[in-house]
Structure 1
Amino acid sequence: MSTVPSRLSVVTLGARDIGTLRSFYRSLGWPEVPASDDGWSAFLLGGVLFALYPLPELAAEAAPGMPEPAAGWSGVTLACNVDSREEVDTAFAAAVEAGATVVAEPTDRPWGGRSGYLADPEGNRWEIAWAGTARFDERGALLSFG
């Protein structure tokens, strides 16, 4: 029996305005992959490729014949875990300065960590979080959680 490898390699957001999203993610200080342009853009983040692709083209590939999703929250969140409780507030403020919209200010959570929620210019939700049990390698890739 074959298995699917237990890894997440690429996360792709369908972009309504890829130029605006590229600018936003670059303003976070994230290094863009050299082959990026307004037809496809990507950022290598701790071993996962975070890609932006025009929504109509992504919809044609991933959901042929279905209507494009409405703008706003899709029910999915992405998270950037940081190394300390204090860094949540620092990273959160930097994202707001870069153009993110505050959804929920950072707060201590019942599960023992700290996090806050932001939206990028197209409404995609990001959580900036710290969990004391998270361990990362030198690239920032998550090694263990809990």
Structure 2
Amino acid sequence: MSEIPARLTVVTLGARDMPGLRRFYRALGWTETSSSGDGWAGFLLGGVLLSLYPVQELAAEAAGGAPAPSGWAGFTLACNVGAPEQVDAAFEAAVRAGATVVAEPVNRSWGGRSAYIADPEGNRWEIAWAPGARFDGRGSLTAFGD
């Protein structure tokens, strides 16, 4: 067994406006953990915790005090859905909740369908359907392209 388990448990976003970012994710219909507040917030998403933490505090811990980046940080988060038509429905729900449109839903050359949105602080989310993606009853990804 590896000393580092092969798993992803938490993704933390540095928040410039904690109350505003919390409102956005709640507007998506996601439930916060009971210990959430404006100093830290968490949303359990199919076995992975989406964590929000003030960006200055996160930079002090994770970047040795380097300044927090501005604009797009060069990564995306993804929410995979079970059918191509669900991409469009989820995309529209995210926009209604306050997301910014980055790319409208389209069929992709790799055989799936996806769209991109940004949360109020510019974090990019891909909403995607991928052939071969399988989920368990909790929505956890159990297979991808197999």
TM exceeds 0.5?
yes
Using the TM superposition, give the Cα deviation of residue 125 of structure 1 relative to its aligned residue in structure 2, in angstroms. Answer: 0.1
Q: How does 1:1-146 map to 2 (within 5 A)?
A: 2-70=2-70, 72-146=71-145
Q: What is the alpha-carbon distance in structure 1 between the residues aligned to residue 59 and residue 126 of structure 2?
A: 25
Superposed CA offset, 1:76-134 (max 9, x none): 10000001000000000000000000000000000000000000000000000001210
One-letter amino acid of the structure 2 residue matched with residue 114 of structure 1: R
Q: Quick check: 2-11 or 83-92, which moved more?
A: 2-11
Q: What is the alpha-carbon distance in structure 2 between the residues aligned to residue 63 and residue 101 of structure 1?
A: 28
Structure 2: runs of 5 or more not aligned: none
Structure 1: runs of 5 or more not aligned: none
Matched pairs, number: 145
Q: Is the alpha carbon distance of 1:135 and 1:23 closer, same or farther for their aligned partners in structure 2, counting shifts above 3 Å?
A: same
Using the TM superposition, give the Cα deviation of residue 3 of structure 1 relative to its aligned residue in structure 2, in angstroms. Answer: 2.7
> Which stretches of structure 1, 4 residues or more, deviate above 3 A after TM superposition?
none
Q: Is the alpha carbon distance of 1:118 and 1:66 closer, same or farther for their aligned partners in structure 2, counting shifts above 3 Å?
A: same
RMSD: 1.0
Identical-residue share of aligned pairs (%): 70
Tell me the TM-score normalised to structure 1 length.
0.97
Tell me the TM-score normalised to structure 2 length.
0.97
Using the TM superposition, give the Cα deviation of residue 2 of structure 1 relative to its aligned residue in structure 2, in angstroms. Answer: 4.8
Using the TM superposition, give the Cα deviation of residue 68 of structure 1 relative to its aligned residue in structure 2, in angstroms. Answer: 1.6
One-letter amino acid of the structure 1 residue matched with residue 44 of structure 2: L
Q: What is the alpha-carbon distance in structure 2 between the residues aligned to residue 138 and residue 65 of structure 1?
A: 41
